[in-house]
């Protein structure tokens, strides 16, 4: 079964189970790295119907290990979409009212051009020959997708974590193209601690002898052990100590006593090993390197002379920021600094800090307060935009 999922993941890199928009040499993607990506493609999903005025479009931006399958069954895992609890007919983001777009980011591994995609110049997977991708590059590709639909102004852009970084980049670089934004559990830059955790993960991947300098697909191999360790380390940052204690404590895994060995004696060890093993079946190791690097490079203030408020100068976009009290990956202070910058820029901004012990991953879970905040903001923005209920 794992081998079958791995094969499906490899097939999804170039021939995804979703619509694909291809851009030829006449439409290159200009990259922050100083080069261009051409040709390239963007894989995406849509839900709902775009109205005649093209005013009801919502762009959803996925997190580091997410994809375009936000509200439909994932073709690799067979599991429901990662935000299906929020998006769909009659749900908070009602696809009977809104036209929802979600694309796989450039650098990803489920259909948009990434390191597992075939390099047309060589006929082999890009591997590390793919130029470094930034959050701004991801947004540039999304803008080209939005233009394809003839959408002059998005009603809303929302997302959490790395998705929230994309949301902030939309608001900073293309504010005239978006009416409202909802960045969740994110920050205007990656902290040194976050960069450190990502570097541990990258080194785990690159230390795996099956990595082959990034050319593992040429050898028909995958650095599964290294990627699994990277996922295990990262997953700890998505939770909180309180949540870990509540779920696992020091409970033993399927045994009455310690084994005095290095098997998974504790439930938390078994849980992390499971997270690592299932992750390698659906995600490309080089994509993990590229996307973590994109997050590390993100720094909105540095992109605007060191002053974050200047990133949002004269913006007319409506903002709602959401943070979680137990999120130590992107603590509330990160959101507050953005709110202060938005206030300095004279922007329309609201802020919600949600009390929960679920940590960073709370934005992906069934959190009533989060849903209430999103529902209230979307409803208010819809009225201001003149979208009928």
Q: Which residues are tagged catalytic?
A: 161, 327, 360
Using alpha carbons, select from 277, 128, 276, 142 the residue that is nearest to residue 215: 128
Annotated binding-site ranges for substrate? 231, 361
Greatest CA separation for the chain: 67
Cα–Cα dist 128/291, whole Å:
13
Annotated binding-site ranges? 231, 361
Using alpha carbons, select from 241, 269, 239 the residue that is nearest to residue 253: 269
Structure tokens at 144: 């080209």
- 3-state SS, the chain, equals CHHHHHHHHHHHHHCCCCCEEEECCCCCEECCCCCEECCEEEEEEEECCCCCCCCCEEEEECCCCCCCCCCCCCCCCCCCCCCCCCEECCCCEECCCCEEEEECCCCCCCCCCCCCCEECCCCEECHHHCCCCCHHHHHHHHHHHHHHCCCCCEEEEEEECHHHHHHHHHHHHCHHHEEEEEEECCCCECCHHHHHHHHHHHHHHHHCCCCHHHCHHHHCCCCHHHHHHHHHHHHHHHCCHHHHHHHCCCCECCCCCCCCCCCCCEHHHHHHHHHHHHHHCCCCHHHHHHHHHHHHHCECCHHHCCCHHHHHCCCCCEEEEEEECCCCCCCHHHHHHHHHHHHHCCCEEEEEEECCCCCHHHHHCCCHHHHHHHHHHHHHHHHHHCCCC
């Amino acid at each position: 079964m794992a081998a079958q999922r791995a094969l499906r993941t490899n097939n999804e890199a170039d021939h995804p189970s979703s619509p694909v928009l291809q851009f030829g040499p006449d439409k290159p993607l200009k990259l922050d790295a100083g080069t261009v990506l051409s040709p390239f493609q963007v894989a995406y999903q849509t839900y709902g119907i775009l109205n005649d005025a093209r005013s009801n479009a919502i762009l959803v931006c996925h997190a580091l290990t997410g994809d375009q399958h936000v509200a439909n069954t994932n073709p690799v895992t067979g599991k429901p979409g990662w935000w299906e609890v929020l998006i769909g007919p009659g749900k908070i983001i009602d696809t009977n009212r809104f036209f929802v777009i979600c694309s796989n980011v450039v650098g990803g591994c489920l259909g948009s051009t990434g390191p597992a995609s075939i390099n047309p110049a060589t006929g082999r997977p890009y591997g590390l020959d793919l130029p470094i991708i930034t959050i701004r590059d991801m947004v540039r590709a999304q803008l080209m997708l939005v233009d394809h639909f003839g959408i002059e102004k998005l009603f809303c852009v929302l997302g959490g974590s790395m998705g929230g970084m994309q949301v902030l980049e939309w608001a900073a670089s293309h504010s005239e193209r978006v009416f409202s934004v909802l960045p969740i559990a994110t920050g205007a830059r990656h902290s040194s601690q976050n960069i450190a955790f990502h570097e541990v993960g990258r080194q785990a991947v690159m230390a795996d002898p099956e990595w082959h300098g990034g050319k593992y697909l040429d050898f028909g191999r995958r650095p599964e052990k290294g990627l699994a360790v990277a996922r295990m380390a990262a997953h700890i940052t998505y939770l909180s100590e309180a949540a870990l204690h509540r779920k696992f404590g020091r409970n033993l895994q399927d045994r009455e006593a310690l084994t005095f060995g290095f098997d998974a004696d504790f439930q938390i060890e078994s849980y992390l090993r499971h997270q690592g093993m299932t992750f390698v079946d659906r995600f490309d190791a080089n994509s993990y390197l590229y996307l973590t690097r994109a997050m590390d490079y993100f720094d909105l203030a540095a992109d605007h002379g060191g002053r974050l408020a200047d990133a949002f100068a004269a913006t007319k976009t409506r903002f709602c920021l959401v943070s979680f009290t137990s999120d130590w990956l992107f603590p509330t202070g990160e959101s507050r600094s953005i709110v202060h910058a938005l206030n300095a820029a004279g922007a329309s901004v609201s802020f919600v800090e949600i009390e929960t012990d679920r940590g960073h991953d709370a934005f992906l879970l069934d959190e009533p307060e989060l849903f209430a905040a999103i529902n209230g903001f979307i409803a208010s923005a819809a009225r201001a935009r003149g979208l009928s209920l």
